[in-house]
Amino acid sequence: MTFEIDSRLDPRLLGLAWMLGHWEGAGNGHHPGGEDFTYSVTADFTENGGSYLHYIMQWFSTDDQGRPVTSLGMETGFWRPDPDGGLEVLIVHPEGIAEIYVGTIEGAKIELTTDVVARTVSADIPATGGHRLYGNVESDLLFAYDRGTAEHDLQPYLWARLARA
């Protein structure tokens, strides 16, 4: 599917312009020390005239027909590119976790590593770090998220393929 870049888009966002819009798909996951699971996922990347994107991703358990049933998680944040191809991403989870990622935009590939992870006193997950990959492959958004916790080293957690909806 093709898309058109709005001429009013802040020039700093051009490397991320392919991500703008609503995405839906399916993915797989693995709970550290636990079991594998499948899920449906939606992601939205929007801009409001500023030099950043707003982001929200939600994933759900599915019924036998693959329809979303129960929320498994969500996150929201801001994607802040800099002119030299660098990227800062701030992500907050309702489980009481805030992450700041730093990384690079290289064409249709984005790679991010945590710089800071903060947890509330009552955080549900003792997250300690993360590594993420995003890419445009055959016009789809591919996503992989490795997560480390106080109990487990960095390991694959979520991966998915989303189509522009």
Instruction: Give per-residue pLDDT as tens, 10-68.
Output: 999 999 999 999 999 999 999 877 889 999 999 999 999 999 999 999 999 999 888 88
Contacts of 77 (CB under 8 A, 6+ apart): 54, 55, 89, 90, 91, 92
Residue 4 has pLDDT above 90, yes or no: no
pLDDT at residue 96, as a whole number: 97
Q: Is 126 helix (H, G, I), strand (E, B) or coil?
A: coil
Across the chain, which distance is largest between two alpha carbons, in Å?
Answer: 48
Instruction: Give per-residue pLDDT as tens, 120-161.
Output: 999 999 999 999 999 999 999 999 999 999 999 999 999 999
- For 147-156, the CB contacts below 8 A with 24+ separation are 147/32, 149/32, 149/125, 150/126, 151/32, 151/33, 151/126, 152/32, 152/33, 154/129, 154/130, 155/30, 155/32, 156/30
pLDDT at residue 3, as a whole number: 66
